[in-house]
A and B are shown apart, each in its own frame.
Chain A
Amino acid sequence: GAVVSQHPSRVICKSGTSVKIECRSLDFQATTMFWYRQFPKQSLMLMATSNEGSKATYEQGVEKDKFLINHASLTLSTLTVTSAHPEDSSFYICSATRGGGELFFGEGSRLTVL
C-alpha cells in the first residue's frame, strides 16, 4: 500500500522557537496533502489543505502566519509552527491523497513546547 512518511515523530522545543514537520509520500505523487491537529482525547481537526505549487487553504480559525505550509513538490509538504507556545503542543498528522478519496496518513508528530 501507499506510504506516507512524517518526520520527526517527536519534538520538544522551547517556547518561541519554530519547528518544521515534513510529510513525504514515498511511492506515489500526492495531488493533495492535508494537515491535522489532534489534542488529547479529541478528534482530528483539519488545519489546512495543501496542493503542490499553490498556497494552502486554511480552515477557519487556523492562523496561516503561525502555521506555515509549503508544498514544493508532489511528494513533500512541510508544516512550520512558528514561534511555538505551550498551547501549540499537540499531535500533528499529515495525510496525502492521489485522487479517489482514499487518504494515506503519516505516522504523526508529537510536539511538546516547553
Chain B
Amino acid sequence: RKEVEQDPGPFNVPEGATVAFNCTYSNSASQSFFWYRQDCRKEPKLLMSVYSSGNEDGRFTAQLNRASQYISLLIRDSKLSDSATYLCVVNVAWDKIIFGKGTRLHILP
C-alpha cells in the first residue's frame, strides 16, 4: 500500500455541485494532515489543515478518520475558480512529509 494515495481524477463537476474526494494514508502514526491546492504551473498553497474534530472554512470541509486512515475534502457550491489539483499531505514525523499525487478537479460551466 502506498504511503499516501489519492484518486488522480480528473473529477469533472458542473458549477454549483458538491464534490468530495478522499486521501488514504498507511502509517497509523501520522501526526498531522493538510490539503493543499495547486494551480497549473504554480506552487502548492495551503487550503486547510485537517483536525481530528473536522473543520470547515466557508464552502470547504475537511475531515479526518483515524480508524480508517483517511482524510476527506468536501467542496460545496463549486465555483469555476475551484478548478485545480488538490494535494493531500501527511506529516508522518517531524521531518517526514508525504504528498499524495493529487486529485485534478475541473469545474464545468
Q: Which residues of A contact B (CB under 8 A)?
A: 31-32, 34, 43-44, 46, 49, 51, 91, 93, 97, 99-103, 105-108, 110
Contacts and interface: CB of A to CB of B under 8 A. Distances in A.
Interface size classification for chain B: 20 to 34
B101 A43 contact: yes
Given A43-B102, A101-B34, A102-B49, A107 B43 contact: yes
A44 B97 contact: no
Taking chain B's interface residues, is the majority helix, strand, or loop, or is none over half, making it mixed? strand
B42 A108 contact: yes
B85 to A, nearest CB: 8
A105 B100 CA distance: 16
Contact of B95 (A51, A106, A107): A51
Nearest to A49: B95
B87 A43 contact: yes
B44 A105 contact: yes
Contacts of B44: 44, 93, 103, 105
Nearest to A45: B99
Interface of B: 31-34, 36, 38, 41-46, 49, 85, 87, 89, 91, 94-97, 99-102
A110 B42 CA distance: 10
Contacts of A106: 43
30 contacts: A31-B94, A34-B97, A43-B85, A43-B99, A43-B101, A44-B38, A44-B87, A44-B102, A46-B97, A46-B99, A49-B95, A91-B41, A93-B44, A97-B97, A99-B94, A101-B89, A101-B91, A102-B32, A102-B34, A102-B46, A102-B49, A103-B34, A103-B36, A103-B44, A103-B46, A105-B43, A107-B42, A107-B43, A108-B42, A108-B43
Nearest to B33: A101
A100 B45 contact: no
